[in-house]
Amino acid sequence: MKEDFKTLLLKTLPLPEANDLYESLQSNPTISLRINPKKTNLVPKNSNKVAHCNSAYYLEERPVFTADPAFHAGVYYVQEANSMWIGRVFEHLRSLIAESVVVLDLCAAPGGKTTHLSSLMQDSDLLVANEVISSRKNILAENVSKWGDGNTWVCSADPVQFGNLGPLFDMVFCDAPCSGEGMFRKDLNAQQEWSLENIALCSSRQQRIVSDSWNCLKDGGYFIYSTCTFNTSENEENVNFICDSLGGELVDVSKIDPSGVLYCLKEYQYRCFPHRSTGEGLFFAVIRKNISTSKPIKNKAQQIEIKKSDINGFSYVGFRSKNWLVPNYHLQCLNLLCLLPGLFHVGTLFGDVFKGKWKPHPAIALLAIESSLPLVELNDQEAMAYLRREFLPKKSSQRGVVIMRWFEFNIGISNSINNGLNNLWPMEWRVRNQFLCNTVFPR
């Protein structure tokens, strides 16, 4: 690590804390994952519980996740353990609000925080996940589809476009792009790219992101600011900027940490350190918007088509020339479809019409609800062949759309025709190597 980083660390933290942190950054990173509670209650092999997240586990060693069909089926998400504290924050804040909430995950890709929040939401809550970088938006939508909660819409827009909407969201989560000091153990590139100049650039960008989006938060709503870095410029100083310049006050959420793992340089601003907990670096603070400076919401004419209602609690919605399954709880939010900038994914993609025929999407098999479609059981070899998007031999007399099932999990769909199973796994999701099947779960 660069000498400038160690010097800055010594300026930021008390000497014993800085030395312990610096030493911990020389050790190996931890490996953790979070189980999808709607799809399984299995415990991974050779794992230990993450204390601050009921559905998460540390693994003793890193497996080849790409070789696990359960990974592709959204049965678990590989996520850094300390970042899961954001889920604890959401649970606490959600308990303070009686009504349903609309939540924005402003910098969402690749989807760890998004899938975590979606698992913790109540049925009537809606999550909007946004990723401004075009090259990253598709992996976000893919992970949302595989997770299968159906309660998340995906946008690709600049934060200022949300700010222009007016006060729409009860909570905004902003895991701001940062210098990445907290990821030094996991990412050597983060060490090589680190510089004092980059810290200044990140700090300025973070202030712009928050300032541009602030207007989309309701008065009294909660803005959750987080980074995975250690310096004060991107953390405490930016939180002070938000409170002083934009009109907010810090919220005490210390009750989420009865064991005292979290560390504070300043009151109500929380840090996770790898020498204090089993995980990487994280900073977060909760800011309540307390000054009414919001501009009114801009209205647009609705252009939404609801094709049929009450299908296992979902409705067909026509949007962007595709058919989507949207929970009936969210029909009251359909006016948002014409408001949200860059919106391209709504609930669960049901499929579209291609050359006059319905082409279903595998997301309907990965949705965490019961399905009436017939099942086709796959062995390990067949499951990996399916994920490589290969044509499979016919396994039953069943014709038409069938769900591919491996072990205990739905992993996708195929069209059963005369001579085999026409693979409908999306081309952009396919596994490109000849991995032997192996799963994190005991069998």
- Catalytic (active-site) positions: 228
149 falls within a domain: yes
pLDDT attached to residue 293 = 59
Average pLDDT, rounded, for the chain: 93
Residue whose tokens read 């690749």: 110
pLDDT digit string, tens, across residues 208-241? 999 999 999 999 999 999 999 999 999 999 999 9
pLDDT attached to residue 397 = 82
Which residues, including other chains, have CB under 8 Å from residue 169's CB and lie 6 or more apart? 102, 103, 104, 128, 216, 217, 218, 221
360 falls within a domain: no
Domain that holds residue 148: 82-289
Count of the separate structural domains present in the chain: 1
Q: What is the CATH number of the domain that holds 117?
A: 3.40.50.150
pLDDT attached to residue 15 = 92
pLDDT digit string, tens, across residues 58-81? 999 999 999 999 999 999 999 999
Per DSSP, the three-state class of 86 is: helix
CA distance 413 to 431: 16
CB 326 within 8 A of CB 315: yes
Confidence of residue 295 (pLDDT cuts 50, 70, 90): low
Residue 210 identity = V
92 falls within a domain: yes
Angle at 134 between CA 169 and CA 90, to 5 degrees: 30
Residue 308 identity = K
CB 428 within 8 A of CB 138: yes
Per DSSP, the three-state class of 5 is: helix
Backbone angles phi, psi at 145, to 5 degrees: -65, -45
CB 386 within 8 A of CB 435: no
pLDDT attached to residue 309 = 60
Confidence of residue 338 (pLDDT cuts 50, 70, 90): confident
CB 339 within 8 A of CB 165: yes
> Across the strands, what pairs with 401?
415
116 falls within a domain: yes
335 falls within a domain: no
86 falls within a domain: yes
Per-residue pLDDT, averaged over 340-345, amounts to 94
pLDDT attached to residue 142 = 98
- pLDDT at position 296 over 70: no
- pLDDT at position 302 over 60: no
Confidence of residue 190 (pLDDT cuts 50, 70, 90): confident
295 falls within a domain: no
266 falls within a domain: yes
Q: What percent of the chain has pLDDT over 70?
A: 95
Per-residue pLDDT, averaged over 129-135, amounts to 96
CB 118 within 8 A of CB 74: no
- pLDDT at position 46 over 90: yes
Confidence of residue 370 (pLDDT cuts 50, 70, 90): confident
Strands (DSSP E) contained in 278-339 are 282-289, 305-311, 314-319, 322-327
Structure tokens at 283: 């900073």
Helix locations, 214-280, DSSP H: 236-241
Q: In sequence order, what DSSP letters do the residues of 357-422 get, joined into one string?
A: EEEE-THHHHSSS---SPEEEE-HHHHHHHHTT--B---SS--EEEEEEETTEEEEEEEEETTEEE
